[in-house]
Amino acid sequence: MAETDIMITFETLYDLLRREKTRQEIQKLDENFYKDLAKYISEKKDILESQKQKESVFTQQEIKKTQNQIDSILKIIRELYEIRENKIIQVALINSRTKSENETVTNLVPEEEDFYKLVIQGLNQFRSNILHSVQNSNPPTIIKKEEPKDIKRDEKPQNIKFIRFIETVPKFVGSDLQVYGPFEKEDVANLPINVVTLLIKNNRAEEI
């Protein structure tokens, strides 16, 4: 285990949340943090299921205690994720406005790097479509959403691709400013080509 690795426990999660809340910068996490976190939650749920199968006078107390701990863990994880999510969006917004999108953003785990790139892409596209167009005396391009048409079973829309995820991917914002995910490994989905291209490029998915 590297020096930067942290064994996940309720206490370490709480400490990570505390540091993320009290410091302005995005805090460092191990690059496998979300994978290890998923494993940790799975182990807790296995313990809960094992307790439910036991017959003991203390069983209900054990079940309640474990369930409360799982609920607290999930609450901490959600808050930690949303704080980091907000920080990443703010960094992306600043870098997009200052044309510094190629600068390295420190302390992002791989899944967050994908999210950052997608947010930057969406912001740049939106700014070009509206602000830059108007500044050049051109009206913004309005992308009309067409009514869905009947599609034959074997026919795929030209702007959509069918992919399988080969890594877990958290919720992210696409260049169309739509929210996608989260997706688990082996999940399949129909997604816009520009989103698919970035996911495949970053080894998060493969085309089917």
- The full set of domain ranges for the chain reads 10-108, 144-207
In this structure, are residues 130 and 185 in contact, taking their beta carbons and an 8 Å threshold?
no
Average the pLDDT over 26-39 and give the result.
Answer: 94
Instruction: Look at residue 4 and tell me whether its pLDDT is greater than 60.
Output: no
Average the pLDDT over 134-154 and give the result.
Answer: 61
pLDDT at 142: 62
pLDDT at 131: 80
Instruction: Look at residue 145 and tell me whether its pLDDT is greater than 60.
Output: no
Give the three-class secondary structure for 80. Answer: helix
Question: Of 71-80, 95-104, 182-191, where does the model show the most confidence?
Answer: 71-80
Instruction: Look at residue 72 and tell me whether its pLDDT is greater than 90.
Output: yes
Average the pLDDT over 177-193 and give the result.
Answer: 85
Least Cα distance to 47 among 31, 35, 59 occurs for 59
pLDDT at 1: 38
In whole angstroms, give the CA distance from residue 208 to residue 204: 13
Instruction: Look at residue 39 and tell me whether its pLDDT is greater than 60.
Output: yes
CATH of region 10-108: 1.20.58.1030
pLDDT at 147: 52
pLDDT at 161: 85
Q: pLDDT band at residue 134, thresholds of 50, 70 and 90?
A: confident
Q: pLDDT band at residue 186, thresholds of 50, 70 and 90?
A: confident
Q: pLDDT band at residue 89, thresholds of 50, 70 and 90?
A: very high
In whole angstroms, give the CA distance from residue 34 to residue 57: 36
pLDDT at 2: 38
pTM of the model: 0.63
Least Cα distance to 168 among 32, 73, 4 occurs for 32
pLDDT at 170: 86
Backbone phi, then psi, for 164, in 5-degree steps?
-115, 135
Instruction: Look at residue 3 and tell me whether its pLDDT is greater than 50.
Output: no
List the structure tokens of 90: 């703010």
Q: pLDDT band at residue 151, thresholds of 50, 70 and 90?
A: very low
CATH entry 3.40.5.50 includes domain 144-207:
yes
pLDDT at 5: 52
In whole angstroms, give the CA distance from residue 16 to residue 27: 8
